[in-house]
Amino acid sequence: MKVGVLALQGDVPEHVRALAGLLPPDAIVAVTRPAELLGIEALFLPGGESTTIGRLLHESGLDEAIRTRLHAGFPVLATCAGLILLAREIDPTPGGAPETLGILDVTIRRNDFGRQRESFEAEVDVDGLKEPFPGVFIRAPRIVAVGPRARPIARWGDEVVGVRQGSIWGFSFHPELAGDPRIHARFLEAALGPGYAKTASHHATTKSTKHTDPTATASQ
Ligand code: GLN
C-alpha cells in the first residue's frame, strides 16, 4: 500500500518526514502528475502558497484527477494551504484567491490571524487525542464557517482549526511541523485501517521546536 504527498510546492519534505516514522520509505510517493495517483490509497496536501499550488494543480491536470477521487471517498489530509485548496468557499482576500477544488464544506479566510499572530504556536484540542496537540500556525487561514457536511475536529479556544468531512481531514495549522506524529497516525489508521501505521506512541519521542516557513519562498 502506498500513500502520496502532493509535491508541487510547499512543505512536502516535512510531510514525508512525518510519515517516515509511520510507514516504510517505499510506501511514500511524491505526486506531481495524475498518473502518480494510481495505486495510491491516501493523499497529503501540504502547506505552502495556495495560489501557486492551485495554479500548478490546474496546469498538471491534478485538480480534476483529485476532485474525481475525492467525490469517490478518497482519503486526503490537507494542511494550511492544502485546506484552502479544498474549501468550498474563500472569503475575498487581498491578492486574490486561488481556484479551489471546492469540495470541503467550509468557508476560509486566508492569512486571517493578524499581523502579530502571523506565525505562532498554540495548544490545540483534537478529537480522539488525549493530550493537546502543538499547533504550528504560519500565516494560517481561518475557518470562518463550517457547513453541514463537515464537522469540527480541532479547536484552539473557541476557534475551529480542523474539520473532517468523511474521508477528508483539513487543518489550518501544520501537524507536519510539530514533531508529533499523532494526527498523521490517526488519519492513516482511519484511511488504511488500524495496525497499518505503526503505533504513534512508539514514534512520539522526537519533538522538534525548529519550524520552517513553507511560504518563505513564495511570491505572495
Ligand atoms: N497563507 C498561505 C496561503 O494563503 C497559507 C500558509 C501556509 O500554508 N502556511 O496560501
Domains and CATH numbers, the chain: 2-203 (3.40.50.880)
Backbone angles phi, psi at 170, to 5 degrees: -135, 135
Residues lining ligand 1, judged by CB closer than 6 Å? Answer: 47-50, 80-81, 84, 110-111, 138-139, 214-215
- C-alpha R_g of the chain: 16
In percent, the amount of the chain with pLDDT more than 90 equals 79
For 98-120, what is the mean pLDDT? Answer: 90
Judge whether residue 197 has pLDDT over 90.
no
| For residues 200-214, average pLDDT | 46
Does pLDDT of 45 surpass 70? yes
Of 182, 166, 104, the C-alpha closest to 141 is 104
Q: Are 98 and 53 in contact (CB under 8 A)?
A: yes
The band of 187, judged by pLDDT with boundaries at 50, 70 and 90, is very high
CA–CA gap between residue 57 and residue 16 (Å, rounded): 19
pLDDT at position 216 is: 55
pTM (two decimals): 0.90
pLDDT at 177 over 80: yes
Residue given cell 498554540 in the structure block = 122
Exposed / middle / buried, residue 6 (Cβ in 10 Å: 0-12, 13-18, 19+): buried
Mutate to test the pocket of ligand 1, among 139, 177, 211 (most ligand atoms within 8 A of CB): 139
Has residue 170 got a pLDDT over 60?
Answer: yes
The pLDDT value given to residue 96: 75
Amino acid at 84: I
Amino acid at 156: W
pLDDT at 205: 40
To test the pocket of ligand 1, the residue of 136, 144, 215, 217 to mutate (highest count of ligand atoms within 8 Å of its CB) is 215
Q: Are 32 and 7 in contact (CB under 8 A)?
A: yes
Is the pLDDT assigned to residue 208 strictly greater than 90? Answer: no
